[in-house]
Structure 1
Amino acid sequence: MAWDEWEQVKAASAASGSATRLNQLAASGSGSGSDLTVHDNVLGKLGDMARSLHGQLATDGDHARVATFEASNDLFNGGLDMGAGLLEVHDAWNTKLRTLREACGHISNHLDHSRSTHAAEEKKIVLGMQDADGRTMTVSRIYDQFT
């Protein structure tokens, strides 16, 4: 928020006699609401897809490696320069394949970590909230505060 916008918000608040509230969604019907929503089951599916792709790349992406290497050796030993070129393709493919597999593994691990961290933080927040009387705020009691 730019400084002049902040000044406008303060002036509007002072003129209306109401308190200025920060970090909240717009009132119903006056805005689009939150622009980021994450659902645990969606993160789980994405993590599973990344893990599955990691496994598929290990088998399907590697099935021609031995044959390509042998062909490059046969061509090179037969006096054809194409053997050296095929070996370069073989090596480049393996490098890219390993990089892609690592990326899929990182994505899967990161999504699993994000899900577990978020769940633990949510639990800590819910269990740590207390009302003015010191009673723990359950999810239903927290929801009642917003309605």
Structure 2
Amino acid sequence: MTFGEEWDALRSQAAARQKVRMQLDHVGGGGTSSAAGKADLSVHADDLGAIGHEAYKLYNRVKADGDQARVSSSDAATQLTRDNFTTGSALTKVVDTWGTQLKTLMQACAHISNHLDYSAASSRENDEEIATNMRNADGKSMSVSLIDKYFS
């Protein structure tokens, strides 16, 4: 068996084992993609909202609970430094690093929450605009045959 034949066989086996496929910028039933009509990735505004809400709750929880030890740790670092212990400066560095990491985590949670809220709202607005634009001058929904003319 040549390398090319072996490679083709391995690719075929991998494709046969693949259960999940994602397809972007295409509606099933046409086109040249071998995965046409088989895409199984879908996102619903309710799902986005739920994930965004969980990110918002995590943000609030991290904000409230993530900084509890800062004051006592800073005080301990100051006292250790005054008493000429080298661990005082090390503890100061730990407190500073923790604060930076905490802010980074909070920003990430806020970013996720805000982005998913925006995505859900944007998707809803896009759907409403499409529904509005797919009407005749008299306000009735366009027929399938009329819509099909736009794609011919």
User: Which residue in the other structure is 1:85 paired with?
Assistant: 90
> Following TM superposition, by how much is the alpha carbon of 1:94 offset from its aligned partner in structure 2, in angstroms?
0.2
Alignment of 1:128-147 (within 5 A): 128-131=133-136, 135-137=139-141
Q: Which amino acid aligns with 1:25?
A: G
> Following TM superposition, by how much is the alpha carbon of 1:39 offset from its aligned partner in structure 2, in angstroms?
1.0
Distance of 2:124 and 2:64 partners within structure 1: 34
Q: Which runs of 4+ in 1 moved over 3 A?
A: 133-136
TM-score, normalised relative to structure 1: 0.71
Contact 1:47 1:107 in 2 (8 A): yes
Alignment of 1:1-147 (within 5 A): 23-26=26-29, 33-131=38-136, 135-137=139-141
> Following TM superposition, by how much is the alpha carbon of 1:80 offset from its aligned partner in structure 2, in angstroms?
0.3
Gaps of 5+ in 2: 1-25
Change (3 A) 1:31 1:118: closer
Gaps of 5+ in 1: 1-22
CA RMSD of superposed structures (Å)? 2.4
Distance of 1:81 and 1:53 partners within structure 2: 35
Aligned length: 117
